């Protein structure tokens, strides 16, 4: 039976690797379709995109210091592309639905903005916390991501020979990813509702994170991956508990004024 077991084992390995590379993207497909269909991005927190972009950029940098399995590297690349597509859609939908036409940007205010006759003096980078990650153009998000990548990449290049720095970088990467569901968890708590959030996406999160954690353990990935994978599963379960609680015991949603930080959720 060895002639049969060897190819079967190889197929299972390929299937597991493929699931690792593309499995993380699958949960966002129903959310992406819901946003396109309803032209409403209120139920999805774009801070989820921020968390995943930061986590996967740091994971790629960690790879240069400690080479882990290539499927995990490709997973990060695919996830970055996916999050940029989600950001593009959410930005387009949100801007088209906003009654307030004032534009917010990562860079300095545009003097051609019709609403602003005399642009206020502003530094090149607009780090006003009230409007951070709530800009009106997709290019502003690209600028921010490239700036973060350039700065962290340069720091990593300088400290790449330090084992302590490399291990801390790896832990920071996977811990950031483990916090993925926290913005959604907080958004649901704020709204006292999970309306607008794709439950299918969260279920896929939970199954995917469980599979991913088991994959880390069985393939003896760096210990940071396994620990933070377990933490991520716990956060997913907490969100599913919110779905049950808010559907079984509905509460009056908390009224919010239009605010940039409240325009996104999964």
Task: Name the H helices within the chain.
Answer: 2-23, 28-38, 47-65, 70-97, 138-159, 163-178, 182-191, 199-218, 223-248
Long-range (24+ apart) CB contacts under 8 A made by 69-78 are 69/17, 69/219, 69/221, 71/17, 71/18, 71/20, 71/21, 72/20, 72/221, 72/225, 74/21, 75/20, 75/21, 75/22, 75/24, 78/21, 78/22, 78/24, 78/25
Question: Could you give the percent of the chain with pLDDT greater than 70?
Answer: 79
Q: How confident is the model at residue 153 (pLDDT cuts 50, 70, 90)?
A: very high
Q: What is the pLDDT of residues 93-144, one digit of tens each?
A: 988 887 654 566 666 554 444 444 444 443 434 456 677 888 888 999 999 9
Task: Give the pLDDT score at 127.
Answer: 53
pLDDT surpasses 50 at 48 = yes
Average pLDDT over residues 24-33: 85
Task: Give the pLDDT score at 1.
Answer: 59
- The whole model's pTM is what? 0.71
pLDDT surpasses 60 at 27 = yes
Q: What is the pLDDT of residues 55-65, one digit of tens each?
A: 999 999 999 99
Task: Give the pLDDT score at 80.
Answer: 96
Q: How many CB atoms lie within 10 A of CB 252?
A: 7
Comparing 111-115, 131-135, 209-213, 257-261, which segment has the lowest mean pLDDT?
257-261
Average pLDDT over residues 29-33: 88
pLDDT surpasses 70 at 260 = no
DSSP string covering 64-100: HHS---HHHHHHHHHHHHHHHHHHHHHHHHHHHH-S-
Cα dihedral 4, 7, 10, 15 in deg (nearest 10): -90
């Amino acid at each position: 039976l060895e002639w049969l077991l060897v190819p079967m084992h190889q197929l299972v390995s390929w299937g597991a690797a493929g699931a690792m590379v593309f499995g993380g993207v699958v949960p966002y497909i129903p959310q992406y379709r819901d946003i396109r269909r309803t032209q409403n991005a209120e139920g999805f927190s774009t801070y989820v995109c921020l968390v995943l972009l930061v986590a996967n950029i740091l994971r790629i940098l960690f790879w240069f210091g400690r080479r882990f399995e290539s499927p995990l590297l490709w997973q990060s690349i695919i996830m970055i592309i996916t999050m940029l597509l989600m950001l593009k859609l959410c930005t387009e939908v949100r801007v088209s639905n906003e009654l307030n036409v004032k534009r917010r940007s990562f860079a300095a205010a545009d003097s051609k903005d019709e609403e602003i006759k005399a642009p206020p003096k502003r530094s090149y980078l607009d780090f006003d916390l009230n409007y951070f990650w709530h800009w009106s153009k997709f290019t502003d998000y690209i600028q921010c991501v490239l700036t973060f990548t350039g700065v962290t990449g340069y720091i990593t290049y300088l400290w790449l020979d330090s084992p302590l720095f490399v291990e801390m970088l790896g832990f920071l990467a996977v811990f950031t990813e483990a916090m993925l569901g926290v913005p959604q968890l907080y958004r649901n708590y704020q709204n006292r509702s999970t309306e607008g959030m794709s439950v299918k996406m969260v279920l896929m999160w939970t199954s995917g994170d469980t599979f991913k954690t088991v994959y880390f353990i069985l393939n003896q990935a760096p210990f940071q991956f396994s620990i933070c994978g377990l933490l991520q599963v716990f956060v997913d379960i907490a969100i599913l508990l919110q779905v049950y609680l808010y559907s079984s015991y509905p509460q009056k949603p908390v009224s919010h004024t239009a605010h940039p930080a409240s325009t996104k959720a999964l």
